[in-house]
Structure 1
Amino acid sequence: MPFAQRLTCTIDDACEVTGLGRTKLYELMGAGHIVTTTIGRRRLVVVQSLLALLDTNMSNQSTCDLREQPPAARCGGALRGKGSCGLGSG
């Protein structure tokens, strides 16, 4: 079953798929950014909350808007080799 279709996952699974460490994952849980449920003594992460967190972070990232700038000014001069907009080795 694809990960995105699962209802819950373990803490270890959440760390593996997000690339985050346990400490950061627990910080996000404590801040309410990741939803968990406890069944008995087992704590499970609600997969939809992980997907929502990643979706939110991706939509908040700033990107270069190439339509509003002339070619030489795009991405702080990245096209002239004098800057970087986080793409490639800039």
Structure 2
Amino acid sequence: MTKIAVTLPEAVALSGIGRTKLYELFKDGALKPRKVGTRTLIIVEELEAYLKNLPVAA
């Protein structure tokens, strides 16, 4: 079974995006974190969609 949401450290490992940059993306509205108690979760589909929409390096 694959996860539908990951914690912040898992998102960092999965995406290669740093923790500080993820918080910037939350602030800018590019990604929407979910809260469960004190845990911050990121929907994997949303993270993948964000990464797929990044410009291609020349």
TM-score class, shorter:
0.7 to 0.9
Q: Structure 1 stretches (4+) deviating beyond 4 angstroms?
A: none
Structure 2 runs not aligned, ≥5 long: none
Which residue does the alignment assign to 1:29?
Answer: 26
Q: Which has the higher contact order (CA 8 A, sep 6+)?
A: 2
Identity of aligned residues (%): 34
Distance 1:22 1:15 in 2: 6
Q: Does 1:47 align with 2:37?
A: no
Aligned residues: 58
Compute the TM-score of the two structures, normalised by the length of structure 1. Answer: 0.57
Compute the TM-score of the two structures, normalised by the length of structure 2. Answer: 0.84
Is the contact made by 1:33 and 1:49 (CA closer than 8 Å) also made in structure 2? no
**Structure that is richer in strand per residue:** 2
Higher Rg: 1
Give me the CA root mean square deviation: 1.6
Is the contact made by 1:9 and 1:47 (CA closer than 8 Å) also made in structure 2? yes
